[in-house]
Amino acid sequence: FLYFPETHGISFRIQISVKELLDTDVLLKLLFHLPVNYPSSLPDISVDSVQLTRAQCTDVKDKLLEQAKKHRSEPMVHDLILWVQQHLKDVIKQSAMVCNEKTTLSKGAEDGIWMLLLHLDHMRAKAKYVKTVEKWASDLRLTGRLMFMGKIILILLQGDRSSIKEYLILQKTSKVDVDSSGKKCKEKMMSVLCETEVQSQHKRFQMFEVKEYSTPEELQKEFETAGLKTLFSEFVPPLLK
């Protein structure tokens, strides 16, 4: 929408979609308020997005204002929109790095090892699916567990961040299972419960293993042995309900 109060300049809202990591689209809502003496005065900008945290939205806004200063006294809104489409990924990455700096300082030698916890809804072609996951983990040098407990299926992985990202892409884009009519299909019912840097209190898994647990307590014990008690209590109980 647009409105033009004579004394207040112009305000308008623009919604853009930006291709993000792993090809998910990030929908950004940008609100520009152009003062009466724009472009010699800079616009007010606000950024909103369901997919980003408040801190990330603020980072995007700050970066846009920095760009705006470079274009002072020339029309800039179009340039700013192009800029955010090209640089959103970097801003979000930097934003994530700032969050992790606090933890990285205390970590030292374990630099750059990441951990991923995935939840799968079901496996129809279980034997084939398990083989595929084992092969990917081995090819990408990832360690961890594929865990079955009742109907719950979890994949916990540790390894280089780039390998973790690569794994996620494989998991989302390969035909790993079959649908109800037996046709090969991609994994559509996977959720990423957690993706984080491995901390010093977490134990490293030495290999990748497939395990079945008969009770939630057994599953919990597996997490606790690996120093991942908090990870378990935050993400697994909701799945047990």
Q: How far apart are CA 64 and CA 79, in angstroms?
A: 10
Spatial contact of 49 and 27, defined as CB atoms under 8 Å apart: yes
Count the alpha carbons within 13 Å of 67 in the hemisphere toward its beta carbon: 21
Is residue 212 predicted with pLDDT exceeding 90?
A: yes
Residue 228 in tokens: 């991942």
Identify the pLDDT of residue 26.
Answer: 82
Q: Are residues 39 and 95 in the same domain?
A: yes
Mean pLDDT over the full length of the chain: 84
Domain end residue (candidates: 99, 124, 143) = 99
Amino acid at 234: E
Q: Are residues 219 and 141 in the same domain?
A: yes
Q: How far apart are CA 66 and CA 68, in angstroms?
A: 5
Question: What does the CA dihedral 173, 205, 139, 132 come to, rounded to 10 degrees?
Answer: -50
Q: Are residues 61 and 87 in the same domain?
A: yes
Residue 131 in tokens: 């083989």
Label residue 107 by pLDDT band (50, 70, 90): very low
Is residue 105 predicted with pLDDT exceeding 70?
A: no
DSSP 41: S
Q: What is the pTM of this model?
A: 0.55
Position 181 in a domain:
yes
Question: Of the ranges 59-68, 190-199, 211-220, which one carries the lowest mean pLDDT score?
Answer: 190-199
Residue pLDDT, tens place only, 158-203: 999 889 999 998 988 888 888 888 898 888 888 888 888 887 777 8
The contacts found for 5-13 with CB under 8 angstroms, 24 or more apart, are: 6/36, 7/36, 8/33, 8/35, 8/36, 9/33, 9/34, 9/35, 9/36, 9/38, 10/34, 10/38
Q: Are residues 91 and 171 in the same domain?
A: no
Q: Are residues 26 and 117 in the same domain?
A: no
Q: Are residues 162 and 202 in the same domain?
A: yes
CATH code where residue 154 lies: 3.30.70.100
Name the domain count of the chain: 2
- Which segments of 40-142 are extended strands (E)? 44-48, 113-120
Q: Are residues 219 and 189 in the same domain?
A: yes
- SS3 (DSSP) at 21: helix
Q: How far is CA 142 from CA 24, 136, 166, 208, 211, in A?
A: 24, 8, 11, 7, 16
Q: What percent of the chain has pLDDT over 70?
A: 87
Q: Are residues 95 and 119 in the same domain?
A: no
Identify the pLDDT of residue 108.
Answer: 36
Identify the pLDDT of residue 132.
Answer: 94
Position 3 in a domain:
no
Residue 224: domain span:
113-239
